[in-house]
Every structure is written in structure tokens, then in C-alpha cells.
Amino acid sequence: METRIDWNPVREWLAAHRDEMVEDLERLCATNSGSDHLAGLVRMEQELIDYFKPLGMPCRKIWLPPYPSIDDLGRESEIQTSHALRWDWNGSDDAPRDRLLLSIHYDTVYGEDSSFQQCTRRVENDEQRLRGPGVIDAKGGIVVLRWAMLAATRFLDSRSLNVSIVLTPDEEVGSPSSINLWNEIAGEFAFAMLFEPALADGSLVSHRKGTGTFVFVLRGRSAHAGRNFHEGRNAILLAAKLATRVDSLNGQRDGVTINVGRIRGGDAVNVVPDLCVLRVNVRVTNHEDHQWIHECLHQIVSEMQSPTQGFSISMHGGIHSPPKTVDDATRDWMESIERVGKELSHSVRWKGSGGASDGNKLAALGLCCIDTFGPEGDLLHSDQEWVRTDSLPEKSLLSVAVIEEFRRTAARSK
């Protein structure tokens, strides 16, 4: 007969460490770890290795390959990111072999030159909040993960548990380097818990849209705007026409959105611009949408190619995160998490999201995962990003309870 956990001592222990969790988060957010700030990512690596030392597991640094990039001058290059970090907790020899993955990223969208670098505390709507870069996306998730594992080692029978923690440095740019790691290790695990933030109302995410970025490099011909204007071929004008064509795809297929997000071109205003780079973000709801958008964009580029007129267009990128849908295994885990929530008097609600995460990639690799065990807050990716600080111990409690549910499930299926 299974011994059920009395969660009240766990709840009290985590609540007693709430202030320490907030201080942890302030300290992590004080180090800039923007996705393209390699020096900051390297500093963050060491901070995280030190931060996780109390768990008593050695850290393994995993080298990740550089990823391709195109700058605003249309130049192709490779960008080196920092290491993925992995800790493995192995149960006793007679423990079930099923292994649990706990993961989140440690990069943020805030670059080295961002004006948003420090945290501030405030009270709003009668709740304690912390505003700062990455407080919910996703350094708050790192804090929740770490404290959930501290609670697991203190209160659970960790001898019958196999857990790996993996932290990655490039999720905010689509995990172009980490995807190699996920392809390699996803098959090691029976279930994954990711610590992306919950939605603003506290809901966990059930399903996600797929997403991708397309980069168009348009080249024309430079000319003096006064002396030989008509000999020029204006790449910005061609990009404007391309942007209009791409935007016209909106509304043609339910659930598909195309955002013309960035355009860069030109230099001196008395020169016909010979180069323009257009960046487009796409969201899709299913794999058929994925194929449709690829075909449409290729067709538009093909129709607009005008080499005889002095223009050329090249298209790069694609869908890097497939849609994350609710299959039978995911539905079973959603129901289990709802039951766990009731044990804790924690209401678990579900909603879909248009945003993507590494959960999309892991699900596409066949690994069942729920990816919103991080804290609650809002306004991520802006200089108003905030976290409700009481949600740090609350989500740590839910997380350790789900870890225990995984342990019990693995033991029953042994």
C-alpha cells in the first residue's frame, strides 16, 4: 500500500523560504544573460552551477554547436552560444528505470545594451510583485525548479527517483543549438516538466501554436539619387511589396498569423538602397499549416524574383517549433496534475497559448511534457515584466507534488 505524503510540512517549509526565493531571483536577474550576450551567458553558467550545488549533484557542461545567423546587412555567420548544463540524480539499483526531465532556459530577451537590467519590488492589487528582466521568463522558473528539487530531496523517497535537470542558453532565439541536444537525449525520458511561466491568470498551458522566423534578403542596385536615379534598383521598395504580399496571407487560413516584424535597409538618403533585410514571424496551429505557409512563401518569392530587372531575393529560416498538441499521453498527465492540485487545494486550469517553448520540440520528438511549472506574472518580453512573488513557493509545491506523482506512477509500472 502506497504511503501518501502529508503536504502541509512541505508547504510550510517552502513558504518559510519565500523571501530567500525572491532574493535568489533578484540575484539571478542582476546578471544579464541575453541570448546574444555570450560573456553574460558564461557568467550565468557559473552562477547556476554554484546555485544548484546544495542539491549535491555534479554538473556536466555540454558544448553546443554554433548556429547560423543573418545580420541586417544580409551577411551569413555562425554564433557561438554557451553550454547547456545537466545534473543527473540516480535512484537506487532497484528503483524504476523511468527518468524524469526538469528543464528551462537561462537566456533572456534582454540584451547587454537593454535599459532594463535591475529588479524592483512593489505592491500592486494587494499582492507582492517583483519587476525585472527575466523574472518569469524564465529565471523565476529556475528558482522554482531548484526549490522544488530541494523539497524533493528533503521530503520524498528520492532513492526511487531518477531525475535529470537540463538548463539551456538559447531558447529565446528558437533553441537553434539546443535542438541538437534535444534530438540526442529526448528518448532517455518518460516525462518532462518545463518551467516556463504560467499564464497571467495562473492557468497552465495545454497546447501551443508552432512558430518560426523567415528572413528575406533583397538585393537591388545602388545609384545616386540625383545623377542616375533611374539606373538604381530600390531594394526597400521591393521589400515593401514583398511585405504586403506576405501580410495578405493573414486571414486565408484559420489560426495562422504572419507578422511582418522588422525591416532594415538603406543608408544615405541620396542613394538608391541596394539591400534590404525583411524578417517575418509565423504562427501555425497544425502541421498542415506548416506546409501551407512554406509553399505560399516560396511561391511569393518565386513570383517576385526579377534577376533580369536587377533584383534578387533569398529566403532563409523556417518553422523551428512545431505545434504542441494534446495527445492521449498529455491528456492523462493533465488529469493527473489536476488531481495533484486538488490534493494541495491548488486549482489547476488549462488554456492554449500562441507562444512556443522547448515543449513544442520535445513533444515533436515524442516526449510527453507539460511546460508551465514556472511562476505567475505577466508582461514578459517588455520592460514591465513582473512576477507574483507568492507564486514562487506555490509553484514549487505543485512541482514537487508532480515529481512525487511521477515517482508513484513509475513505481506502479515497474
- What is the separation, in whole angstroms, between the first and last Cα of the chain? 15
Spatial distance between the Cα atoms of 20 and 53, rounded to a whole number of angstroms: 16
**Average pLDDT over the chain, rounded to whole?**
95
Element holding 304 (H helix, E strand): helix 287-304
| Residues 2-60: tens digit of each pLDDT | 678 899 999 999 999 999 999 999 999 999 999 999 999 999 999 999 999 999 999 99
| Residues 283-311: tens digit of each pLDDT | 999 989 999 999 999 999 999 998 889 99
Give the chain's domains with CATH numbers: 7-208+323-412 (3.40.630.10), 210-321 (3.30.70.360)
The residues near 360 (Cβ < 8 Å, ≥ 6 apart) are 208, 210, 211, 321, 322, 323, 324
Residue 53, classed as helix, strand or coil, is: helix
Q: What is the arithmetic mean of pLDDT over 146-156?
A: 96
Q: What is the arithmetic mean of pLDDT over 396-412?
A: 93
**Per-residue confidence at 161, pLDDT binned at 50, 70, 90?**
confident
How confident is the model at residue 22, as a pLDDT?
Answer: 98
Cα distances (angstroms) measured from residue 367 to each of 69, 87, 193, 266, 362 = 28, 19, 10, 46, 5
Q: Across the strands, what pairs with 217?
A: 277, 314
Spatial distance between the Cα atoms of 121 and 130, rounded to a whole number of angstroms: 5
Query: Would the pLDDT of 414 be above 70?
Result: no
**Per-residue confidence at 91, pLDDT binned at 50, 70, 90?**
confident
Q: Across the strands, what pairs with 59?
A: 87
What predicted TM-score, i.e. pTM, was given to this entire model?
Answer: 0.94
Residue 274 contacts residue 232 (beta carbons within 8 Å): yes
| Residues 359-391: tens digit of each pLDDT | 999 999 999 999 999 999 999 999 999 999 999
Three cell numbers at 108? 533572456
How confident is the model at residue 217, as a pLDDT?
Answer: 98
| Residues 178-230: tens digit of each pLDDT | 999 999 999 999 999 999 999 999 999 999 999 999 999 999 999 999 999 99
How confident is the model at residue 90, as a pLDDT?
Answer: 86
How confident is the model at residue 268, as a pLDDT?
Answer: 96
